[in-house]
Structures are given as structure tokens and as C-alpha cells.
Amino acid sequence: MTLCFALLLVASDLPLSLGDEILESRTTDNDLMFARLRGGLLFSRRLQFDAITVSGAELHSKQKISGSAGMDLGLSFEIENKNSTSLDFILFASIEGAFGSEFLIEDANLCFGLRSRAEPGSVSPWAPQEFAIYFGPSYGLLQARDSGFVDFKGGAGSRTGLSLAWKVGRALGIGLTVEYRYLKFDVKDKSEIASGDTSTTAGGVWAGVGVDFRF
């Protein structure tokens, strides 16, 4: 009984801010894993194909805008922490599907980059708390909606982007992303083509929004 009373006295002498400091340290710790669900539009001026097959069929297709949805899953590692800003190295993989009137695109990516994080309260609530830049290789599949169209081989390319994020909670955020993407696809059997294109490029600017999760 005496021991319990003594412990209560000691606890009463602790500064009231101690609990706040512990809570703040937990809310500002770097999160190792992150995921983003995102959707947007791909603006591509070069996704077109014009050719004549050996059988005399004319193939004409052009797509400027595609809707898309995808998911990123990755890891972050803090490499610097100065004043009210932290710098992380990020590594993530992503999958995505883009759907347009003429073509369907499926791609997978592996990206790496840097992310700058502002500590809570150090910036205006309307200003983004995070800024990231990244780059990485891509691999994709292209399929024409027209069943009589030629088939394409899998294509390789790259993805470069920048992202802004606003945190609405410790484990939740809203992000805006702009990327430049490039994927080149060759016709699987070029002997089918008598004249015209034997490849096409799914390259352009992607812009969209996402929901971030931190673990």
C-alpha cells in the first residue's frame, strides 16, 4: 500500500508534456511500408498504328486518352533528418491497367527515388507535407480492342514521376501525381505487315490522384 502511494507521488511529479512528447515521437516516426491506390488519365499522342497486312486488310487505330487504375507497394528508408524536414529513399513496385477506346495496356514497374517529408505543424495545412521524385523500368502488354488487329509483343520502357501528398492522419494521405511514361511495342509477327507501322509507342503524360496508406 505504501509502495503504491509512493509510485503515485512520483507519477504526479512528471511533467504533463511527457505524454505529449511520446505521442509526438510516435506520430513523426518514419513508416517503413507504404501503399498507394491511384487512378488517373494517360495522355498519349503517339499511341497509334497504321498498316496494311499481306491479306490486304487496312489497320488504323489511334488513342490519345486512356483511363487507368493501379497500385503501388513499397518501402522507405530515412537517410537524413534535419530541422523540420526528413529525406527518405523509396523503393516500390506497381501494377496498372489503362483502358481506352482502341487499346488496353497492362504494365508493371519497379521504381526508386527520394521523398522529402515535413514534420507535422512545420508547414501550412494547405501545403503538401511530402514531395517525391522517382524513376524506374517498366514492362507492359498491349492489346487492341479490335479482334482482327495484329498482336504485339511485350514492351519495355520507363516511368519518371513526381508526387505531392497531404497527410490526413498518421496512416492515411491524399496524393497528386504527374508522370512521364514510355513503352514501345513491336508487332509479334512482322511478316503479317505488307506496309506501314510495325511498332507503336504508348508514351505520354499521366496525371492522377491517389490514397496513401502507411504501415
pLDDT, tens digit, for every residue of 86-109? 899 999 999 999 999 999 999 999
Q: Is the pLDDT of residue 72 over 50?
A: yes
The average pLDDT across 114-127 equals 79
Say how many C-beta atoms besides its own lie within 10 A of residue 70's C-beta.
Answer: 21
User: How many helices, marked H, and strands, marked E, lie in the chain?
Assistant: 2, 12
Q: What is the CATH number of domain 33-214?
A: 2.40.160
C-alpha cell at 30: 518514419
Q: What is the structure's pLDDT at 211?
A: 97
Q: Is 74 or 16 the better-scoring residue by pLDDT?
A: 74
**Is 134 buried (19+), middle (13-18) or exposed (0-12) by CB count in 10 A?**
buried
- Identify the band that residue 12 occupies on the pLDDT scale cut at 50, 70 and 90: very low
64 close to 47: Cβ distance less than 8 angstroms: yes
pTM of the model: 0.80
**DSSP assignment of 13-75:** TS-THHHHHHHHHHHHSPPSEEEEEEEEEEE-SS-EEEEEETTS-EEEEE--EEEEEEEEEEE
d(CA 178, CA 42): 10
